[in-house]
Amino acid sequence: MKCIYCGCMDSKVVDSRQNEEGTSIRRRRECESCGKRFTTYETVESTPILVVKKDGSRQTFDPSKVKIGIMKACEKRPISMTAIDKMVTDIQRKLLNSLEQEVSSKYIGELVMEQLREVDDVAYVRYASVHRQFKDINTLLNEIEELVKLKDQLSDGKKK
**Residue-wise pLDDT tens digits, 100-151:** 999 999 999 999 999 999 999 999 999 988 887 777 788 878 888 888 888 8
Dihedral, 53, 108, 64, 49 alpha carbons, nearest 10: -70
Query: Does one domain contain both 91 and 143?
Result: yes
Measuring CA to CA, which residue among 65, 96, 63, 67 is closest to residue 82? 67
Query: Does one domain contain both 67 and 112?
Result: yes
Q: Determine the structural domain holding residue 92 and report its residue range.
A: 50-159
**pTM higher than 0.85, yes or no?**
no
Query: Does one domain contain both 77 and 153?
Result: yes
Q: Contact 137/130 with Cβ under 8 angstroms?
A: no
Query: Does one domain contain both 84 and 16?
Result: no
Residue 49 per-residue DSSP state: P
Query: Does one domain contain both 87 and 62?
Result: yes
Query: Does one domain contain both 151 and 74?
Result: yes
Query: Does one domain contain both 99 and 141?
Result: yes
**Residue-wise pLDDT tens digits, 51-60:** 999 999 999 9
Asked, for residue 6, whether it belongs to a domain, the answer is no
Asked, for residue 1, whether it belongs to a domain, the answer is no
**Residue-wise pLDDT tens digits, 64-94:** 999 999 999 999 999 999 999 999 999 999 9
Query: Does one domain contain both 95 and 137?
Result: yes
Measuring CA to CA, which residue among 122, 118, 94 is closest to residue 107? 94
CA distances from 5 to 31, 33, 60, 121 (A): 9, 10, 39, 64
Using a 10 angstrom Cβ sphere, with 0-12 exposed, 13-18 middle and 19 or more buried, the burial of residue 114 is: middle
Query: Does one domain contain both 24 and 95?
Result: no
The total domain count for the chain is: 2
| Cα separation, 107 vs 102, whole angstroms | 11
Query: Does one domain contain both 144 and 113?
Result: yes
Element (H, E) at 37: strand 37-43
Q: Is the dihedral of CA 31, 34, 35, 39 positive or negative?
A: negative
